[in-house]
Amino acid sequence: MFVSAIIAAGGAGARIGARVPKQLLDIDGQSMLARSITAFDTHPRVSEVIVVLPPELVGDEKQHLGVTKRPVRAVNGGPRRQDSVARGFDFVSTRADVVLVHDAARPFVSAALIDRTIEGAATYGAAIPAIRARDTAKRAQAAMIVETIPRDSIFLAQTPQAFRREVLREALALADRDDVDATDEAMLVERAGHAVRIVEGETSNIKITTPEDLVLAEAIARNLSGGARGFGRAMKGEAASPMERERASRTPSGPPRTGRAGTGYDLHRLIDGRPLVLGGIAIPYARGALGHSDADVICHAVIDAILGAAGLGDIGVHFPDSDPRWKGASSLGMLAHAAGLALEAGYEVGNIDVTVVLEAPKLRDHIGAMREAVARAVGIEPARVSIKGKTNEGVDAIGRGEAIAAHAIALIRSRADRA
């Protein structure tokens, strides 16, 4: 499948009050534009990247795009978002099967989220990630409430939004009309008469619009660059206290100066009507794993391996299925939290090895994306994550396709070993 990505970075971002376009603002040593480009440039399923910039930056774009694995084409943006995306689409390869459109102001998009949108578009024609509203929604006029809207019907849209090439082409044909001013591509696709599928978004996939958003972005970036420590704190937008920062900088006296290994195992039944999520990646298949969270056996096995190596208990201690907070939760977030617990105990992950046991589907085409997603959650390089798929040769429930299992081993080491 040929996948093209359009990075929409043509606006000025006036609401943030900066002297430069907001997409060039630094977030923990890297601009939000460079972070967004990297997410797609390094994704194994993305074939080409096109960046739509303010006209004054085109021609001098190399200093703004960062180091890339592949050539990235920069094109002039237009007066409106839909105009900019249409100009980017003009340079999309005719071989493209799926086209992604992403806001450069969302610099923390994950590989797993990109995968979900690609699969959604390939299957349904159009797909966008969205977060279900958690607060009660009100409709108001002149600062007075006129209606309470059932929050179960409210979703907050994110990017990347993904479309089959011909679907987006039809939608962008509406972009030239003066009576159409779309805030996202899905709105144009809806007006063109196409249905749009919702896939699960991510709370960390924030859009940076105001100075307050920059504070949250810095917290997320610091926690990503320092492993997964403080995952929950970053999601709440809280900064570490001076005492916490000082404690984190010291080598704890407890952990011995030696490597430690832990093993993990997880098994789930496979049922119809559930998505199959492995290593944070949605795998196209008719059946998925049954569980309280997203039932990702790879992440669950790795969590147990890391916690076991650090002597911190197991997944049931930290993420009990009796706790509603973990119902339907992303196991990648749980994995990041577990790695953070190990880091706070004075350990960092050296490498991870996972064996997934299932009869179908084949995982070969998804291994790269899974390794990258797991590595990002743990805070290590993908080269230090190994994931293998094996069958059970038709034996027992796994062999009959009724279940899926994963075995994992994690090697951790004391942070003092680096001293």
Range in 42-46, 205-209, 226-230, 352-356 with the lowest mean pLDDT: 226-230
Q: Please report, for residues 36, 107, 208, 224, the alpha-carbon distance to residue 27 in angstroms, rounded to integers and kept in the order given.
A: 12, 9, 11, 12
**Mean pLDDT, residues 379-392:** 92
Please name every residue paired with 269 in a beta bridge, in sequence order, or none if there are none. Answer: 403
The residues, any chain, with a CB within 8 Å of residue 220's CB and separated by 6 or more, are 108, 204, 206, 234, 235
- State how far the Cα of 31 lies from the Cα of 369, in Å rounded to an integer: 24
b (16+ CB within 10 A) / e for 256-270: eeeebebebebbbeb
Q: Using one digit for the tens of pLDDT, what is the confidence trace for 29-66?
A: 788 899 999 999 999 999 999 999 988 888 776 777 87
- State how far the Cα of 52 lies from the Cα of 402, in Å rounded to an integer: 47
Which domains does the chain possess?
3-136+151-204 (3.90.550.10), 257-418 (3.30.1330.50)
Handedness of CA 34, 35, 37, 38 (dihedral sign): positive
Report which residue type is found at 237.
Answer: G
Report which residue type is found at 414.
Answer: S
- State how far the Cα of 358 lies from the Cα of 296, in Å rounded to an integer: 13
**Mean pLDDT, residues 311-328:** 84
Position 117 confidence tier, pLDDT thresholds 50, 70, 90: very high
Q: Using one digit for the tens of pLDDT, what is the confidence trace for 223-261?
A: 665 544 444 444 443 444 433 333 333 333 344 444 789
pTM for this prediction:
0.56
Position 220 confidence tier, pLDDT thresholds 50, 70, 90: confident
CA 234 to chain centre: 15
Q: Using one digit for the tens of pLDDT, what is the confidence trace for 249-292?
A: 333 334 444 478 999 999 999 999 899 999 989 999 989 998 88
